[in-house]
Amino acid sequence: MPPHHPDKSARYLSALQALKDEDRLRCLQPRVGLDFASNDYLALASAPRMKNAVLAALDLGTPVGAGGSRLLRGNCEEHERLEAEAAGFFGAESALFLGSGYAANFAVLTTLPQRGDLLVLDSLVHASIHEGARAGRAEFRVSAHNDPQSVDNTIRDWRAQGGTGRVWIVLESLYSMDGDFAPLEELVAIADRYDAFLIVDEAHATGVYGEHGRGLTAPFEGRENLLVVHTCGKALGAAGALVTASAVLRDFMVNRCRPFIFTTAPSPLMAVAVSEALVILREEPDRRERLINLIAFANREISRRGWRPSASQIIPYIVGDNARTMGLASALQARGFDVRGIRPPTVPAGTARLRISLTLNVSEDDVRALLDALAEETACEPQ
């Protein structure tokens, strides 16, 4: 008989109960109601051109799966074609296609910064960046959010304490939960001053901002000290991520990046879909124009109600309390609006919020109706 142990699931049940007690227990919810929750900003995920490109590729014999890692038989012509097109589109020397934004951030941060180097992370960067920093070889420190002086001070303090390696400054160009933009020009200047590298996650800006949707880093792409992660599962309507960088950094990742080497390559069909999305960005600029107009409309409606507007398509409505946040989200969902509540640890403690996402899947009338519903629900809350 095997030895007797207490309930093997007890520790997990206890942890789940603790999350429930703190109003932080998560569950999967269906896609129901008007889309104010997705990152499908340009409504490309279900666009006919995207579907037709994938169907045409299937008809031509493109396999559904790659069948192996890129260094084995998984390197398909669709991957290489996308990488060449992406490098040209974004204005970079080279590009590398990976399975997701999370995988790309983790891969970059566990491969390129070396022992003795320093990573300086903005305090609000994606969880994948924090995970990559913790798992990597370099030391890392956190700077105040969107504060170039804090970045500068962090680097100077590290140098004063004897740090001699390379510095890597890591940020998002558009922050996913606050909807605010990074001071890119100032951070580029700091990187130049300290002979540092700049790693920019463009997840929520690619496709929406910059010429042809090239992102907020577009004016700086092609610099030797810049590496950019362009997520393909948001405004580009597909899946995966493109890392644009110098050819030397790309070659180093192909040779030394374990998350790239030891994983099956992304579906060649996703490479086809991303390629089509890049063409659509060039040929259908009205999509971006319509989204920018929708953002401006939403801000006028928000200001009219006395709330704080957002500079981007990401509108945080800060509630604070976890239970109240989820109650508001449920009330809006019951009225036909798919709005999700965001709680710690995704956001700092005490800043639970509704994350309202603007996409071309909704109209101005839909936005006005949502804001009216939110005003009514908050007016009905006990004070």
Active site members: 39, 126, 172, 176, 201, 204, 234
User: How many Cα atoms within 13 Å fall on the side-chain side of residue 369?
Assistant: 16
Q: How far is CA 215 from the centre of its chain?
A: 12
- The answer to whether the beta carbons of residues 198 and 7 sit under 8 Å apart is no
CA separation (Å) from 105 to 15, 94, 214, 245? 28, 17, 19, 13
Rounded CA separation 100/122 (Å): 21
Rounded CA separation 226/318 (Å): 33
CA separation (Å) from 60 to 53, 64, 271, 272, 381? 11, 12, 14, 12, 57
Longest dimension (CA), the chain: 71
Residue 70, number of CB atoms within 10 A of its CB: 21
Rounded CA separation 107/229 (Å): 11
Pairing of strands 226-231, 197-201: parallel
Rounded CA separation 315/336 (Å): 18
Rounded CA separation 64/333 (Å): 35
Rounded CA separation 49/237 (Å): 11
Give residue 187's identity as a one-letter amino acid code.
L
Give residue 190's identity as a one-letter amino acid code.
I
